[in-house]
Amino acid sequence: METFFQLIISGLTLGSIYGLIGLGFTLIFRASKIINFAQGEFVMLGGVITACLIKSGFPYFISAIIAISIVIAVGMLFQLLVLRPIKDAPLLILIMITVGGSIFISNTTGIVLNTLPQALPPFIKMPPIILSGIVISSQTIWVWVATALLLIILYIIAKYTIIGKAIEASAEDSLGAALLGINQNLMMMLAFGISGAIGAIAGIFVTPIFFIKYNSGIILGLKGFVGAIVGGWGKYSGAILGGILIGVAESLSLAFISAGYKDAVIFGILLVILSIRPKGILGSTEMDERL
């Protein structure tokens, strides 16, 4: 039982990371109706840039702030230079552009920085918490806290701030939003910037747990995307729930099935959930009930 609960703890930690990635997917979808498959690369950039800066002699906190700022800029520039000029293109074209952007960012990172796996030390070296033989590391607690805080912050932004309402209004009714004086281009760019920040934070939290390198964003992004679908596409809470379920399933499959089948288990869960409940676990029948 101790082993089982230890696996659950590991799955909750990994699932929280997937949930953070799913939050980025959800934010962009709610803001622009686009599925941004470059979200995984935002995660990769956050971890890789932070690790490289620390190796160059920068303090941990300063490295993280610089990395988050760079990824925010990358997200905003991606929307400004790549997506905005073709914003009226068919949805499938826009999605494929994000796939191309993902590949470009990944390969460019490998060339500019390096292709070697990167690691980060824990944020604060603290003794782990041991409960009945179950070990909970300080890094795990940081991940849980960050996930909860970001979910709350996004909920507050979307529900109670002018910027959050303007972002979603631009996606729901672009003409009506324009008539109300909302700068839709600015709102979309802000959404991609916030999404970049979320991805970078996820990358900084995941890198102390396992190695990350220039091509890690693809699989991380896919798992975050699967989590967002399983939990309830378009809902912030659904992204977190789905990510946690995917993380726990992956952790258990590593122990009780085989490491070679862990990804098959995750996508098998996706197929089962979609066949039983196509809208996801928390998906509502009303499209407007998305929180």
Query: How many beta carbons lie within 10 A of that of residue 174, not counting itself?
Result: 13
d(CA 38, CA 25): 9
Question: Comparing C-alpha atoms, which of 147, 260, 143, 135 is closest to residue 207?
Answer: 143
Strand partners, 212: 118
138 CB-contact burial (10 Å; exposed 0-12 / middle 13-18 / buried 19+): middle
d(CA 268, CA 171): 32
**pLDDT, position 68:** 95
**pLDDT, position 137:** 80
Q: Which CATH number fits domain 2-276: 3.30.420, 3.40.50, 3.90.1530, 1.10.3470?
A: 1.10.3470
**pLDDT, position 285:** 47
**pLDDT, position 187:** 85
Would you write out the chain's pLDDT as a tens digit for each of its 291 residues? 778 888 888 889 889 999 999 999 998 988 888 889 999 999 999 999 999 999 988 998 999 999 999 999 999 999 999 988 888 888 889 889 999 999 999 999 988 887 788 888 877 777 777 877 787 887 888 888 888 888 888 888 878 888 878 877 776 766 677 777 778 788 888 989 999 999 999 999 888 888 888 888 888 899 999 999 998 888 888 899 999 999 999 888 887 887 777 788 888 888 888 888 888 888 764 444 444
d(CA 28, CA 134): 37
**pLDDT, position 290:** 41
Domain parsing of the chain, residue ranges: 2-276
Strands 129-131 and 134-136: antiparallel
**pLDDT, position 180:** 75
Give CA separation, 281 vs 33, 37, 158, 243, in Å. Answer: 20, 22, 21, 12
| Sequence-ordered strand ranges (E) for the chain | 129-131, 134-136
Using CA atoms of 170, 172, 178, 181 in order, give the dihedral in degrees to the nearest 10. Answer: -60
**pLDDT, position 284:** 60
Structure tokens that stand for 103 in this block: 């590949």
**pLDDT, position 158:** 79
d(CA 39, CA 194): 11
Q: What is the pLDDT of residues 22-63, one digit of tens each?
A: 999 998 988 888 889 999 999 999 999 999 999 988 998 999
| Residue labelled with tokens 């995941």 | 206
